[in-house]
Structure 1
């Protein structure tokens, strides 16, 4: 199960790093034009903060275990990403963006599995 958790954490880290970096580095208008309609409802600073949370969460899923420094941060980062994705699902449901609900829900479940595994029976 430890290997499975590492694989899930690696995939989550890659996904959140890419998505977060895109939100941090691109202007809000470009994000809206590329299909992220929800960004139009938020300020530029809020979009950048969401991106920063995603990047930090991605780092928190991998780096503590690799450096063997405070590995308890891994399930905490996963829990933070669960909370972030709950917010994403709620936003997509409210905006009736049905195509965006499933990917957000999948990321939510995967982050919850990592949080459960690393807080519980497969902690470091």
Structure 2
């Protein structure tokens, strides 16, 4: 189970790290083509979401690897659950069912990491 959690952490870190960097570095106009939901948010809000995703990606890996404040790993996963709830609600409001499914899958994966790292498989 520990290996499975590490795989999930790595997958989530890669996905959210990439998404976070993209949202931080790209202008809103460029993001609109691939992420239509950005129309509803200010550039600052989009960068904040990207920053949260990037911090969570770092938090999924770095504390666990270094052994420094490893409690941050399940907290980062919990933060991603909250971000995905917000994302799913945004896509629900915009009537974008395929995006909601993706959000719910990512939410479930982050919840498994949070559950495992807060529970039996904590560091």
> The TM-score by the shorter chain falls in which range?
over 0.9
Distance 1:23 1:96 in 2: 22
Residue 51 (structure 2) aligns with: 52
Distance 1:48 1:18 in 2: 13
Residue 33 (structure 2) aligns with: 33
- Give yes or no for the alignment of 1:112 onto 2:78: no
* Runs of 4+ more than 4 Å apart: none
Residue 71 (structure 2) aligns with: 72
Normalised TM-score (structure 1): 0.97
How much does 1:65 deviate? Answer: 1.0
- Give yes or no for the alignment of 1:15 onto 2:15: yes
Distance 1:93 1:79 in 2: 21
SS in 2 for 1:123: coil
Distance 1:106 1:18 in 2: 17
Distance 1:33 1:104 in 2: 19
Instruction: Give the total of aligned pairs.
Output: 123
Distance 2:97 2:8 in 1: 24
> What per-residue deviation string (whole Å, max 9, x for no partner) do you get for residues 29-74 of structure 1?
111122x111111100000000000000000000001111010000
Normalised TM-score (structure 2): 0.98
Residue 93 (structure 2) aligns with: 94
Distance 1:104 1:20 in 2: 15
